[in-house]
Structure formats: structure tokens, C-alpha cells
Amino acid sequence: MFRFGILSTAKIGRDLVVPAIQDAENCVVSAVASRDLSKARAMADRFSAPHAFGSYEEMLASDTIDAVYIPLPTSQHVEWTIKAANAGKHVLCEKPIALRASEIDQLIAARDRNKVLIAEAFMVTYSPVWRKVRSLLEEGAIGRLRHVQGAFTYFNRDPGNMRNIPALGGGGLPDIGVYPTITTRFVTGKEPVRVQASTDRDPEFGTDIYSSVRADFGDFELSFYISTQLAARQVMVFHGDKGFIEVKSPFNADRYGREEVELTNQNHAQSQLFRFQDARQYKLQAEAFARAAKGEQEEVVTLENSRLNQKFIDAIYRASDKDGWEKI
């Protein structure tokens, strides 16, 4: 059984990822680390993990784990990913794994030097929802793809939330802007060439709270908006000359609605609805990561892929400070 250690007791780990690992067929949570041993012990007991550590370093030095899952604040991802890799542990790190594309070069070097697997936790790429969208596009179900349209919004003005704290890597683009970009790239296999964007920042927090983006992929365009201060909404639509595909709750189906993909034909006279009952993308992510770490053939999000996605986000920030197109 592949053994995960959890680096911190962060909410996303407690609520989503750790339960999924425990439910997976080929891996288990073996340890929890926190700077507060009592918190680590409480979380370890909750999930029946046998080991608890009062420091991250102590867990990394332990032989009770094979890999580390990192749900720390974004600003700490690069530092602790490298430390875990240097300790000989495989790493599954929450997105975004870095705040600049150039930082990922350090992670690639650490991966290669230590011969471990490092992957960014884009759970959507393991979901049968997005694999279905990819197969429909590959089959030519909507003909020539011309436009992708997306939105991802929620409302959060909690000053204590890391998403609203610049020093912790807060902001809308790092938190949710990465989803329209990674999913479009994942299902099309294409990379953007240039981008236009506008971004608003919160006058109190200083974080980016709204972005409207137009990206040129050569054969098609992607337009999307994201916000941390709008009513909650998620949607992705892939529009071709023979039909279109709508992903109803593309990123967080448990909170935004059903996991459904609808394919509609050219004259809107016929549609097919593909439903995915309890797709459990976090569980699938853990299982795929464990197989890949053991050397089995498995599709995971490589650091090279992560670098391309972050390069896209970096360009959105640059484009937001100018009129016209910005090269990616």
C-alpha cells in the first residue's frame, strides 16, 4: 500500500483530499504533520492514520511515508516541495504549485536530482468528466472547435482567508484562474500563443479579485472570467461548427451542481447528456499518483505541463497591465 504523509492540517486536505486518499484502493494516509502536535494527532486520529508529527521536518525524515501531500499556503509550495523531494519523498502539491513559471525550474531540478515524482494536484485532469470532453473533441463530435467560453466565480471577503492575503499567494488567478486554463489545454492538447486581459484588485486586500481573459490558441479562442467576489458560478462551453459541448459543473461539482456533459448538435434539435454519478476526482487523482510513483504507466500532470500553465497565468498578469496582446 502506497503511504501518504499530509503536510499540515489545512481545510482542503481535511475536507477533500485526505478522505479521498483513505478511500482509494492503492494508497493510505500513514501520517499527519503540523507545527502543533495536538492538531496533527487530532487529524491523524480522525482518519485512523497511525503517525502524527509535531514538525514537517520530522515527518519528512520518517520512513513511515512514501509521499507527501502539500496543502500549505501557495507561497510555501515551492520551498516544501523541494524539501520533500530532497528527503526522497514523492510529492503531490496543491495548485498552484508555484506563483511564477520560472520557479518551477527549481522543482524540475529537484525531481530529476532525487528521482522522485512531483505533480501538481489538478484533480480535474483525472475526472471522467474532462476525459469525456477530450474524447468528444478528438472524435470530432462538434466539428471544428472555434471558441471556448468559461467562468469560475465565488464570493469571499474574509480578511483572514489565505486567498485574500498577497503574502500567502492569494488572489483569483492563482486560486481559480488556473482551472479554465488547465482544462482547455488538457482537452485540446493546444497551447495559447497570446492573450489580452483586464484585472481588478481589491483596494483593501491588494489581491486580484476579477479577471476577464481572451486567449488566442491559433485554431480557436478561449474567453473566460473569474472572480473571488461574484455570486458563485462555474461553466465551460466548447463551441464548434457542428455543435457544442457544455460542462455543467466543471470544477467543483459537489458544490456547484451535477457532474454532467451535454453535447448539442448544430441546429439545436438534438442533445446527448452524459452523467457521471459521484466521479470522485480526488480519489482518482490519489490512485493515479500512487501508480505513477511506483513506476506504472499513468497519465499525471507533469511539472513541464505545470510550467506551461503557469506561463499562461503569468502572461495574463502582464496583459492586464497593458492594452493589446501579450505574447505567452
Catalytic residues: 95
Residue among 176, 150, 186 nearest 94 (CA) = 176
List, in sequence order, every beta strand (DSSP E) within 165-242.
Answer: 194-201, 208-216, 221-227, 229-240
Angle at 101 between CA 103 and CA 180, to 5 degrees: 135
Residue among 176, 201, 200 nearest 313 (CA) = 176
Q: Where are the alpha helices (DSSP H) in 3-159?
A: 11-12, 18-23, 37-46, 56-60, 77-86, 104-114, 128-138
Residue 214 C-alpha cell reads as 481572451
Residue 18 C-alpha cell reads as 485526505
Yes or no: say if 248 and 276 are a contact pair by the CB < 8 Å rule. Answer: no
Residue among 90, 93, 98 nearest 117 (CA) = 90
Distance separating alpha carbons of residues 7 and 39, to the nearest angstrom: 12
- Which residues 6+ apart lie within 8 Å of 234 measured at CB? 151, 152, 153, 249, 250, 251, 252, 256, 257
Give how far Cα 8 sits from Cα of 20, 68, 93, 228, 317, Å. Answer: 16, 10, 12, 24, 30
Distance separating alpha carbons of residues 232 and 229, to the nearest angstrom: 9
Instruction: For residue 251, give the DSSP letter.
Output: S
Cα 293 to chain centroid, rounded: 19
